[in-house]
Amino acid sequence: MSERIYLDNAATTCIDQAVLDAMMPYLSECYGNPSSIYSYGRETRIAIETARKKVAGILNAHPAEIFFTSCGTESNNTAINGAVRDLGCTRIISSKIEHHAVTHTVEHLDNLDWVMVDYVQLLDNGHVDLEHLEALLAGSNQKTLVSLMHANNEIGNLLNLQAVGELCTRYNAIFHSDTVQTVGHFPFNLRETPVHFITGSAHKFHGPKGAGLLYINENIRIKPFIHGGGQERNMRAGTENVYGIVGFARALELATENYESDHVQIGALKMYMMEQLQQHIPDVGFNGDVTGRSLYTVLSTSFPKTEKSEMLLMNLDMQGICASGGSACTSGAEQGSHVIREVSHNPNRVTVRFSFSKYNTRAEIDRTIEALKGIL
């Protein structure tokens, strides 16, 4: 088999060598517990706080608003549970195409009868209907949490954070956005963005797995989600993942430095693959607002359902090409993708998500197109 082709970068990315180099001292000689007061502990504590300041600077937030977690899922759980438990939210407005880290958390709170849940409608292209969102906000005096993701991990649609944040401000709602697919891929200016919580995960932008981010706006306070220690300024118990935190900050720094060139390069690959699919694959389709407000890293494609297309992912894998049917977190689900069910009402289509990074090439796209031509 020739060299493998990895086109599932929305699931995870390879770690940059420069990130690994930054982490290595904290996997070897700098192994102190950051809570210890002697020199070994002090040097790892300094590393964590330096990383916090670096991340805060890049996101234009205050260091006291930045908390390190294990992943985006933990960060989303912390924010949603905290908004209900500590900020008095008795109602949640969300969408049915959120990541399961959000949908399952919202459903759990609903099942406990802690909240009532309303789902905002979607437009035909998969975007949130902002007029319906405002109608939902205006229709109740209950303290409300709005939880809507910045970019959909399966179809790539981008939410207008500013517009949603302004609506939430107008109706005194708390705004949480799952930004796992955009932190490290788009610039943020959190001092100028009306949002209370955002989340991130280093492995989505060439950092290590096991390192997450939770931003909590300084104007709100929630209690810890995990108990048993005073780490993260009493907000998250457990010995810190020092090398992961260092890796998170270095990966975000590199992503920010190279944002303009990466955006152009990766976006061009996405459009090239879209054009090649349209040229060579009969009746190919695309999910979401693919040429509009969309992630430059994600292309959600659909093909007519046939015996061959239903085995497409496996056949691609046999040729060394890695893609997914939607989210890696829902792979293997018997009912398929909940996102695709909401945005595409045609059961006779098969969806494949291709997602790209700076390490992909046109030659890889060409080889993938040739493989698809042979399979379909």
Identify the helix (H) or strand (E) that includes residue 55. Answer: helix 39-59
Q: b/e per residue, 200-214, with b = 16+ CB within 10 A?
A: bbbbbbbbbbbbbbb
Angle at 367 between CA 363 and CA 371, to 5 degrees: 170
Which CA distances in Å does 41 have to 68, 208, 251? 18, 22, 24
Cα separation, 40 vs 173, in Å, equals 44
Residue 228, token pair as written in the block: 């048993």
Give the distance between the most distant pair of CA atoms in the chain.
66
The angle, 0 to 180 degrees and rounded to 10, between the axes of the packed helices 100-111 and 72-86 is 30
Clarify whether 14 is annotated catalytic: no
Among candidate residues 30, 71, 89, 329, the one labeled active-site is 329
Rounded to 5°, angle at Cα 158 from 361 and 110: 125
**CA 141 centroid distance within chain:** 31
DSSP-assigned beta bridge partners for residue 116: 91
Catalogue the active-site residues.
329
